[in-house]
Structure 1
Amino acid sequence: MSGTARCPRCDGAVRAPSIWHSSATCAVHGAVVPLQPACPADAVHLQWVARHSEVPVWLPWPLPDGWLLTGTRCVRDDRCDAQAVVVAVSGPHRGAPGDPPVAELLLVAEQPGTGLGAHLAGREDVDPGEGLVSGPPAARPHAGGAAAPLWPVPADSDRAVLVGEAGGVWLWALLWPASAGATLLEDLELIDLREREPVPDVPCGAMSPRVQWA
């Protein structure tokens, strides 16, 4: 895991603010709010994230049987609260023969223009656009008590990627393996931890490598 901030659009290193640049700077994308290193999941950190985020901090609750919270990550800096939050959860997967026994889910809530979800999906664009959020949705989990339709996104064959809108911002869901996709999401109820005080007593596990991609 890298201990330095990265660009949320390309995962490249960023130059820290200086007397010449008030924002972190990516050599490719210019001024950006940086993606911070991954943090382990624990109640104290979750509470801090929930208090310092401008976007929902989505958590499946209750978690599916045997599932654990396995890390978080934020796009933020010292000048502003989080513009994007990644929450990782992992648990048993009873899929097709040959599938891994553990499924992993990243939930990404982000302000338009951030580009983190698109980057994780392997896309060159920044926001989903009308080309992705059209036609029938693949899943309709509930987020904050309201249906949150999610549409499939073309991605590498090892994962399923879906995107929609919830809480006024983009919601991306990335799942490994791909067979743990829409069926799992359909049954989820997502809560925004910003609206829970105190944060629920969430079972936590070792940090997922999926949230440590840089």
Structure 2
Amino acid sequence: MVNVGISVSCPRCGGPMRSPGLMNSDWRCDACGPMPPLHVAEHIGPEIVESAAAHAGGVPIWCPWPLPMGWTVTGVGWAGDERGGTRATALACTGPGPLGGPADVVLVAEEPGVGMGNRFAALAGPDPGPYLADSLDTTAAHAKVKAAGWPTPLWAVGAAADRSAYVGEARGLWLYAVAWPADAGYLFAEDVVLHDLTDWLPKELVYGAPSPYLHGAA
């Protein structure tokens, strides 16, 4: 790992984690129980993203590419440990919103049961399935992106009033796109292409000030 500060928290609730010890071999959250710890780099740059990609273990790190005009990459995180491997990743971006004003987006890829995407989307529980059930049966996709070259439908799921959230599936994992403020979700009404940074890290990526949404309680 590059020499940079790393914060560790629970991916599901954002609370503190207890590291493995003599009495317990798992990372644990007092509220959520055994959980893969979420590691978030306190700064962002190409070396940090390269290191995160090396830790990803086959879990994509989704990034809009090319970045929309004026947007920057503002954070990266991964949930996992040496024992269980990486089970989720998150990438934050910041830029001008489609309806004006600043906007933030967090893209999450995760295995079932982690709950990190639900946390950012302000949903209860570890998975989005209960929130998707009605939409999948009765409505067409609310947004469509291309993920690693494949058309990928996304469905809107209920979120807090200050954000919008879309969920779909890509590469066999949940894909979440969460945007602040809520009207920033209109970004996904456009032709957004998501690139997996574990496949290739574009040298032209632009980096900005660290996102508050990866470091604080979402």
Fold-level match, TM-score > 0.5?
yes
Q: Secondary structure at the match of 1:187?
A: coil
Counterpart residue identity of residue 207, structure 2: C
- Rate the CA distance shift 1:4–1:58 in 2: closer, same or farther, 3 A: closer
Alignment of 1:31-46 (within 5 A): 31-46=34-49
**SS in structure 1 at match of 2:78:** strand
Residues 7 and 42 of structure 2 are in contact (CA less than 8 Å); yes or no, is this contact kept in structure 1?
Answer: no
CA distances 1:112-162 after superposition (whole Å, capped 9, x unpaired): 111101122222211111541513111010000001111001111111101
- Check the 8 A contact 2:144/2:188 in 1, yes or no: no
Equivalent residue number for residue 13 of structure 2: 10
Between structures 1 and 2, the one with greater helix share: 2
Number of matched pairs: 208
Asked if 1:205 is matched to 2:208, the reply is: yes
Within the candidate set 169, 172, 177, 1:173 is matched to 177
- Percent identity for Structure 1 against Structure 2: 38
Call closer, same or farther: CA 1:57–1:162 in 2, change over 3 Å.
same
Q: Is the 8 A contact 2:97 2:187 kept in 1?
A: no
Distance 1:37 1:104 in 2: 17
Q: Which amino acid aligns with 1:8?
A: P
Q: How far apart in 2 are the matches of 1:185 and 1:52?
A: 32
Give the equivalent residue in structure 1 for 2:69: 65
2:155/2:168 contact within 8 Å kept? yes
Aligned counterparts, 1:22-37, within 5 A: 22-37=25-40
CA distance in 1 between partners of 2:121 and 2:15 (Å): 16
Question: Could you report, residue by residue, the CA deviation over 1:17-64 in whole angstroms, capped at 9, with x for unpaired residues?
Answer: 001111111223221111123432211111111122131011100001
Distance, in Å, in 1 between the alignment partners of 2:97 and 2:131 is 31
Indicate the SS of the match to 2:198: helix
Deviations 1:166-194 (A, max 9, x none): 11100011101111214435321011111
Distance in 2 between residues matched to 1:40 and 1:70, nearest whole Å: 8
Amino acid in structure 2 at the alignment position of 1:39: E
TM-score, normalisation: structure 1: 0.89
RMSD: 1.9
Taking the TM superposition and a 5 Å limit, the aligned residue runs for 1:1-214 are 4-53=7-56, 54-95=58-99, 101-129=101-129, 131-132=131-132, 134=136, 135-184=139-188, 186-196=190-200, 198-214=201-217
- Name structure 1 gaps, 5 residues minimum: none
Mean Cα deviation higher: 4-13 or 140-149: 4-13
Distance 2:104 2:51 in 1: 23
- Which sits farther off after the overlay, 117-126 or 72-81? 72-81
